[in-house]
Structure 1
Amino acid sequence: MPATDGTPATGPTSTTVNDIRDAAHPLHATGDLDPLLAHIGDARHVLIGEASHGTSEFYRWRAELTRRLIAEDGFSFVAVEGDWPDCHRVHLAVTRTGQQPVGPIEALRAYRRWPTWMWANEEVAEFVRWLRRYNDEYAGGAPAGFHGMDVYSLWDSLFAIQDYAREYAPDALEAAQRAYECFEPYREDPHTYAWAGATLPDGCRADVVALLANLRAQDGRDTTPAGALTEQFVAEQNAAVVAEAERYYRTVVRGGGESWNVRDHHMVDTYDRLLRAYGPQAKGVIWAHNTHLGDARFTDMAASGMVNVGQLMRQRHGPDGVVLVGMGTHRGTVTAADRWEAPARTLDVPPARDGSVEAEVHGALGDHGDSLFVFSDPAEQPRDSWLRRVYGHRAIGVVYDPAREHRGNYVPSVLGRRYDAFLYLDRTSALHPLRPADQRTGEKEAYPTGV
């Protein structure tokens, strides 16, 4: 572990049990989120995590908190651990903008990249339906948006740039075509490109950089609105995705934490670009896995030189302006695959491992202990507090093997430093995909970590 000021957990004690019980706010209805809303206060950046990409209750509670942030506190947009082009279709649907607006559910069904169930599911569908209704009824200002921050959509983003250049920026078309021709021999397989990049260190980098510079030089040519954004902003974001995807895939083959860091820096850079586009008073919500949103400095990730979105957000925007919310479960079921590119299945999640955060909270609260924990300032937490101890904290990816659960899937963490609040949901159930997951080669969400 890094210098987290954490002490190893030594098992449950009566003091720990009492501390957990005293800190727990029962969590059953939307009004039970009030202590968390009060804690958020004037913070402009709220990051809401999940312990898996396939748990219904995580998605539903995250959506409920986000609805309240948008409707009651005027938050401007949601940025998710998803591809920019796919999520932009949803954005156009919930804001009723674009040349060929579609319904939000149709936009979700258009997600093609495995694992489609991460976003094409009934829980997200319920939220985007609400977001479209909210935007339809909202009287003033820009509509609340829905955007992707991830790095995987190399080819989809290239195609979108070509379409933009043909319609709005013919001077950039040649640069877009050169970039596409550089990647074309790899047949939309980024991993083939990654392995080629190991022997051709420059790869397509020069063409990608030239494309991004060319698009930025088009400033002022397009004022066509796309929600709160212009078409030029969307094109530049696609170019930024291509640039960072190219870098990401060349670092993946080297192993280690470098590719993870490229990806999480890109997500925060994307969020910051959105924040500027929405204006000086904008406020944003981020949805992603706990491993991205809980501050990496208070996990074993730091010892490997890895950073994450939560850490970078605190460093860029200050701890008082950022609220990190994690989630966890003791047992239940989850939607996941048993291998890469396999169809989604409903898998059992066994009771949490002894010595984990989830086992400790379950032991204190019992079988019906769904609870919200809002943490005090770390400086005010007693040195012997359970919030300052190192516990394993469950993390399930899109590929999951319950039989190996007790040999992995736990991130050593100091809970009271990693997050500002924690939603504990004792027994959870599998997410509901809108349709069976496609088996498709090419770029994959959450590759290679599954989160």
Structure 2
Amino acid sequence: MKTLFRSLVTATLLAAPALTASAQAPSSAAPATAADTARILLNPTLINAVNTQSFEQFRETVRPLVARMAGKKVVALGEGTHGTAEFYKLRFWLTRILMEEHGFTQVALENTYGGALRVDAALHQRPAPALKPLMQKHLLSIWQNQETAEMLTWMQAYNRQHRRQQVSLTGIDAMFGSDDALLVQEGLSKQNPALRPHIEQLLKSTAFQDAMWLQMNSSSFKFDRKAWLSNGLAGYDAAEQLLKALPTARLPRATRETLDLTLQNSRMVFDYPYQVKFHKRESSRDSLFAAMTQLLVRQPGSKVVVWSHDAHLSRQSMDPTDNNGGGTGAFLERMFPGQYFVLATSTAYGTFAATPQAFVSPVSPMAAYPLPAPKAGSWEISLAQVSSPAFFFNTHQLGPQDAQRPQRLVGQTPTSTEQYGNYQLSKAYDALLFLRTTTAATPL
């Protein structure tokens, strides 16, 4: 089994190079061959120029792309960095089109389910509460920006105008679990008194683990493996017992369904110690992402738009030896054969928002950093030569140019700009949206 520290940081997407083996790029990526580094000149017929000046102009130029997404059950919209303003804005516009025109009702972030649910409540209330404090308390800092707030504000307005067809924010991650536990307490505390010890244990275990994740950003942090295992196993068991009791609880149907999702997610929060203890292996964060997505669309007719990093949503892992190396898309393709569509987003130059903290949390500070030029032989360096500054293309039409070559996969830290995964694009994504120059997302 890999080192325990690495098994802990499997929970961190693309952590800083100094901290985890999965992030020691470019050395962790497979070495590029001579064929991989040859400059690609894309066939002009593959290029679909995109107008990003306004929503209306954007909608007209992406109609062929949306047509391929419209009939799917799960549409995944990736991000090549965790802090690019244009990636947030254009994914919002795509999500809006899918919701307004094609029956999608959920957008799922790389965020714990309970935290997203707290923010979602504000999208349905009248009068509408202020979003900023809720976002800062319940969402990871990668979502705490003006661009995400713009989408949530639109969702508030949409819900005021469409009472029968509401749209919702949700989450597929399982990191900071206190929001899950508090929702369970609110929903079940007045039920069978025998459930209260399990609720109290769940609250205790999530508080312990959340505090540990926050402390991991401190140089003085000392990991207590025994306490981590004991706490996590107790939390997992508490969530399990409450899930078993849920069918007999006297609750409205909608409340029961929400609590079921909350408890499923809460159990995932403790999957890391559970897998270490009982299966002697690391937990797969990507399989948990997929499992949570599957739960979100288990009702007939349900459709979801997923927002996460390109590396996660890809059908291929950037590092097959790392259980946080990506490949959520492979799990989703098996769960929904022919019903999964993934769009990657990528850029070459400009700025991006990042945090110096290796473990991203709701309190991680975000600031703008320069985006270095892509390395020679990468997809980005070739795509930047296309005359159009913004365009998309169907990866399955690349033909002989679809060679395996480096794709930049920037995480949440400033140093993660040197991180690459080797991809044959058609095996990783259905389409790619490229913007030559981009800017950092604007923190709230």
TM, length-normalised to structure 1: 0.78
Partner of 2:293: 271
Q: Deviation per CA, 1:349-399, whole angstroms, max 9, x where unpaired?
A: 022111111101112x14x4210112337xxx63xx222x11111111111
Residue 213 (structure 1) aligned to one of 226, 241, 244 = 241
Unaligned runs of 5+ in 1: 435-451
Q: Distance in 2 between matches of 1:430 and 1:145?
A: 26
Letter in 2 for 1:76: T
Q: Distance in 1 between matches of 2:48 and 2:251?
A: 48
Partner of 1:448: none
Give 1:345 shift: 1.5
Give 1:252 shift: 8.9
Partner of 1:418: 428
Letter in 2 for 1:108: M
Q: Map 1:300-379 onto structure 2 (within 5 A).
A: 300-302=318-320, 304=322, 308-318=327-337, 320-340=338-358, 343-363=365-385, 365-366=386-387, 368-376=388-396
Q: Deviation per CA, 1:291-346, whole angstroms, max 9, x where unpaired?
A: 110112xx54235575532111111101x211110010011001112344763221
Q: Distance in 2 between matches of 1:95 and 1:194?
A: 42
Q: Deviation per CA, 1:80-122, whole angstroms, max 9, x where unpaired?
A: 101222211221111238xx963444432433x6x52x11211
Q: Distance in 2 between matches of 1:94 and 1:200?
A: 36
State the SS of the aligned residue for 1:335. strand
Q: Distance in 2 between matches of 1:159 and 1:95?
A: 20
Letter in 2 for 1:392: P
Work out whether 1:22 is the aligned partner of 2:45. yes
Task: Name the CA shift for 1:196/1:240 in 2 (closer, same or farther; >3 Å).
Answer: farther
Q: Distance in 2 between matches of 1:86 and 1:184?
A: 14
State the SS of the aligned residue for 1:87. helix
Q: Distance in 1 between matches of 2:307 and 2:319?
A: 20
State the SS of the aligned residue for 1:81. strand
State the SS of the aligned residue for 1:188. helix
| Cα contact 1:205–1:243 (8 A) shared by 2 | no
Residue 100 (structure 2) aligned to one of 71, 76, 91 = 71
Q: Deviation per CA, 1:187-223, whole angstroms, max 9, x where unpaired?
A: 8325789944458855542553244333442326354
Partner of 2:69: 40
Partner of 1:438: none
Q: Deviation per CA, 1:408-431, whole angstroms, max 9, x where unpaired?
A: 311111112100010001000000
Task: Name the CA shift for 1:7/1:312 in 2 (closer, same or farther; >3 Å).
Answer: farther
Residue 160 (structure 1) aligned to one of 172, 183, 188 = 183
State the SS of the aligned residue for 1:311. helix
Task: Name the CA shift for 1:37/1:200 in 2 (closer, same or farther; >3 Å).
Answer: closer
| Cα contact 2:155–2:167 (8 A) shared by 1 | yes
State the SS of the aligned residue for 1:86. helix
Q: Distance in 1 between matches of 2:354 and 2:210?
A: 28
Partner of 1:110: 137
| Cα contact 2:77–2:343 (8 A) shared by 1 | yes
State the SS of the aligned residue for 1:126. helix
Letter in 2 for 1:52: T
| Cα contact 1:328–1:425 (8 A) shared by 2 | yes
Q: Distance in 1 between matches of 2:63 and 2:81?
A: 25
Partner of 1:189: 212
Q: Deviation per CA, 1:40-91, whole angstroms, max 9, x where unpaired?
A: 2421210000011110000011111110000000112111101222211221
Task: Name the CA shift for 1:129/1:187 in 2 (closer, same or farther; >3 Å).
Answer: closer
Task: Name the CA shift for 1:244/1:41 in 2 (closer, same or farther; >3 Å).
Answer: closer
Task: Name the CA shift for 1:350/1:153 in 2 (closer, same or farther; >3 Å).
Answer: same
Partner of 1:233: 257
Q: Deviation per CA, 1:243-284, whole angstroms, max 9, x where unpaired?
A: 22222267799xx9934x1x22222222222212xx301111
Give 1:154 shift: 2.4
Give 1:288 shift: 0.3
Work out whether 1:49 is the aligned partner of 2:78. yes
| Cα contact 2:235–2:270 (8 A) shared by 1 | no
Q: Distance in 1 between matches of 2:341 and 2:123?
A: 26
Partner of 1:440: none
What is the Cα-based RMSD across aligned positions, in Å? 3.3
Work out whether 1:284 is the aligned partner of 2:300. no
Q: Map 1:240-255 onto structure 2 (within 5 A).
A: 240-248=264-272
Aligned length: 397
Range with bigger deviation, 164-173 or 420-429: 164-173
